[in-house]
């Protein structure tokens, strides 16, 4: 089944404790992206990647890191999480042009205390 998977689905952590949210897709898509979704602010792009070793900042990259060492994986790293990073995070992937469908993962709900 074609899908985007994220792990963990739920995470409660404390300020300053480094964490990684993994994202993997099995569709051989070149483009992958991370978003956060907050009430009243909607879905905002954090980072995106056009291909292996090619990444670019979205609208809200501060406090996040990404890497794209393999085509299928695009982990999101929070080196020193803070409470304002409490949010619902989505990973997405697509193939081809910018109008092609982005396939979204199921989401990761992160709470930073």
Partner 1 sequence: QKEVEQDPGPLSVPEGAIVSLNCTYSNSAFQYFMWYRQYSRKGPELLMYTYSSGNKEDGRFTAQVDKSSKYISLFIRDSQPSDSATYLCAMSVRNGTSGTYKYIFGTGTRLKVLA
Q: Please check whether residue 11 is in contact with residue 78, taking contact to mean a CB–CB distance below 8 angstroms.
A: no
Site string for partner 1, 38-77 (x = CB under 8 A): --xxxxxx--x-x---x-x-xx------------------
Q: Please check whether residue 49 is in contact with residue 33, taking contact to mean a CB–CB distance below 8 angstroms.
A: yes
Given candidates 32, 76, 105, 110, which one binds partner 1 under the rule CB under 8 A?
105
Element (H, E) at 4: strand 4-7
98 belongs to the binding site for partner 1 (CB under 8 A):
yes
Instruction: Report the nearest approach of partner 1 to the CB of residue 17 (Å).
Output: 26
Instruction: Report the nearest approach of partner 1 to the CB of residue 98 (Å).
Output: 4
Q: Where does this chain bind partner 1 (CB under 8 A)? A: 4, 33, 35, 40-45, 48, 50, 54, 56, 58-59, 90, 92, 98-99, 101-102, 104-107
């Amino acid at each position: 089944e074609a899908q985007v998977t994220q792990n963990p689905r739920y995470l409660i952590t404390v300020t300053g404790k480094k964490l990684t949210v993994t994202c993997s897709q099995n569709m051989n898509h070149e483009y992958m992206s991370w978003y956060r979704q907050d009430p009243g602010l909607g879905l905002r792009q954090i980072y995106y990647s056009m291909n292996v070793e090619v990444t670019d900042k979205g609208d809200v990259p501060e406090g996040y890191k990404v890497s794209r060492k393999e085509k299928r994986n695009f982990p999101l790293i929070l080196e020193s999480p803070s409470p304002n990073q409490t949010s619902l995070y989505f990973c997405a992937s697509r193939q081809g042009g910018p109008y092609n469908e982005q396939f979204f993962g199921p989401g990761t709900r992160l709470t930073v205390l």
